[in-house]
Amino acid sequence: MFRGFFVKTLGFVGYTIQYGCIAHCAIEYIGEFVSCSGPSMEPTIISHDVVFSERLSHHLYQIQKGDIVIAKSPFDPKMNICKRVIGLEGDKVCTSGPSDIFKTHTYVPRGHVWLEGDNLRNSTDSRSYGPIPFALIRGRVCLKLWPPHSFGVLAESPNDGHIL
């Protein structure tokens, strides 16, 4: 009787480990569901919207200007940020805020990207912390899943004139 219990328990643990490994690989290499919070991506992504962040393109082709990405925060590695790619390495970007009278520009260094929220007046982004290393990007947001009435591919940036 004890042996039967031991075999069933061991089998259960084995299946749990297998499914855990499959889930880990799916999240790490295919994509994950992310609940976004904060006002920085409004009106494209509202706080508590759920999006799908895919990771295949991160491995197959380069992230492009205009893509929305999930990245590790440059301040807190336990926190993720959701921002739009405004500039890639070598690009000239405007570093001024939307209300600044005098506009300043900088070049994005090699191996880095410039990220900004769509809500320029209420976003902590590369204008505050500078360009971030490309390696901090976790995935590209390709689909809004929740709420159901806004399900679909994400809209273009409301700030297209901001990209140089």
Active site residues: 40, 83
d(CA 124, CA 79): 13
Q: Are 82 and 45 in contact (CB under 8 A)?
A: yes
Using the 8-state DSSP alphabet, how is residue 27 labeled? I
Strand boundaries in the chain, DSSP class E = 31-35, 50-54, 68-72, 80-87, 92-94, 105-107, 112-116, 132-133, 137-146
* Residue 157 C-alpha from the chain's centroid: 15
